[in-house]
């Protein structure tokens, strides 16, 4: 048996953002239709470690059944030394025999599929004409979200802000030539989001970085950074004022600090979650109801997203001969 090994560059080449948005659409629809077995992620927090280890298994049934697991270390201090905070691997196995098929770089898959899911949410929730984009954060997810937003909406301008102004300025220098619209670094979060109709929060903050008073009516928010119960990126008032959409209810009520803090504050109830994105995609639940409401997609990241991305990358590698194959 041969095991396919794919590094970061190969995954990025085989998983273009536009293709991944389509793959994530199909994955979220499969989840909504009950075709996915998806345990909650297991997180190991060694008290002396600089980060945490997460294990994320998933299985999808059907004609192209697949099984996989992502093993990911999350080390929030990594960006300071020039490394992605997410480090690990995705193992793809045969849905028929359980044999290992491929081992792939998880940093690349995580970066692309997370932004692609936000792209799916933006496509179904944001107003059609929105294009004034604010990005809070200037790391890996900021870059991938810029690409995803450009795939699904007619972006007119982008304002980027980081707690380290030099990072925002470097971000602009790195990406400006790749896009036809103006991209600028600004000094405050308020300056970035005032009058924006499309907002991405992609930070490692554990405290709110976004306040309700700054957000325009009709805006769409992709809240990406906080993925643990004790961390949040938006304040309680923002959660209460927004129509809330999630990737998965079970994950949200167990893992999302953005949701749980607002719930404990008494500002929202369990019925505040309008729908999972997959439910909107299949027509089971409504999306945006009017032009003035604020829609908020709370992204936690799901193993089915990693599995779907890995399965697509595997098929592309098989077709193109990419990667290295080793006896296993």
**What integer pLDDT is reported at residue 86 of this predicted model?**
83
Per-residue DSSP letters for 117-154? HHHHHHHHHS-TT--EEEEE--SHHHHHHHHHHHHHS-
- 299-316: pLDDT as tens digits: 999 999 999 999 999 999
- 97-130: pLDDT as tens digits: 999 999 999 999 999 999 999 999 999 999 999 9
CATH 3.30.1780.10 in the chain is located at 2-110+304-327
CATH 3.40.50.720 in the chain is located at 126-301
If we measure between CA atoms, which residue out of 160, 179, 176, 157 comes closest to residue 168?
160
If we measure between CA atoms, which residue out of 65, 3, 124 comes closest to residue 308?
65
Half-sphere exposure (CA, 13 Å, Cβ side) for 274?
Answer: 22
CATH of 2-110+304-327, picked from 3.40.50.300, 3.40.50.2020, 3.30.1780.10, 3.30.200.20, is 3.30.1780.10
Q: How far apart are CA 125 and CA 258, in angstroms?
A: 19
Mean pLDDT by 10 residues, the chain (328 residues): 95 98 98 96 91 94 92 87 88 95 96 98 97 96 97 98 95 97 97 96 91 96 86 94 96 92 93 97 97 96 97 98 96
- SS (HEC) of 218-282: CCEEEECCCCCCCCCCECHHHHHHEEEEECCHHHHHHHCHHHHHHHHCCCCCHHHEEEEHHHHHC
Domain 126-301 has CATH 3.40.50.720: yes
Q: How far apart are CA 222 and CA 6, in angstroms?
A: 29
């Amino acid at each position: 048996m041969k095991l396919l090994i794919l590094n970061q560059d190969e995954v990025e080449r085989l998983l273009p953002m536009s293709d991944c948005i389509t793959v994530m659409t199909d994955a979220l629809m499969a989840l909504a239709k009950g075709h996915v077995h998806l345990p909650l992620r297991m997180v190991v927090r060694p008290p002396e470690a600089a980060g945490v280890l997460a294990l994320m298994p998933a299985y999808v049934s059907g004609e192209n059944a697949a099984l996989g697991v992502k093993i990911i270390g999350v080390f929030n201090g990594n960006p300071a030394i020039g490394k992605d905070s997410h480090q690990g691997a995705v193992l793809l196995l045969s849905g028929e025999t359980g044999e290992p098929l491929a081992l792939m770089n998880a940093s690349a898959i995580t970066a692309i599929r997370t932004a692609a899911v936000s792209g799916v949410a933006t496509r179904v929730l944001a107003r059609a004409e929105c294009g004034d984009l604010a990005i809070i954060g200037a790391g890996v997810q900021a870059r991938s979200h810029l690409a995803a937003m450009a795939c699904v909406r007619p972006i007119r301008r982008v304002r980027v802000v980081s707690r380290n102004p030099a990072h925002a300025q470097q971000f602009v220098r790195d990406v400006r030539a790749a896009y036809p619209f103006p991209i600028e670094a600004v000094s405050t979060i308020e300056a970035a989001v005032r009058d924006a109709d499309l907002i991405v929060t992609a930070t490692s903050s554990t405290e709110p970085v976004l306040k309700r008073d700054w957000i325009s009516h009709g805006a769409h928010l992709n809240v990406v950074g906080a993925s643990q119960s004790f961390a949040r990126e938006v304040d309680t008032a923002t959660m209460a004022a927004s129509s809330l959409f999630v990737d998965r209810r079970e994950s949200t009520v167990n893992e999302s600090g953005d949701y749980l803090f607002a719930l404990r504050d008494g500002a929202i109830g369990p019925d505040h979650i309008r729908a999972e994105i997959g439910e909107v995609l299949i027509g089971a639940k409504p999306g945006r109801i009017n032009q003035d409401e604020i829609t908020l997609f709370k992204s936690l990241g799901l193993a089915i997203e990693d599995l779907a991305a890995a399965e697509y990358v595997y098929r592309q590698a098989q077709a193109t001969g990419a990667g290295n194959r080793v006896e296993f």
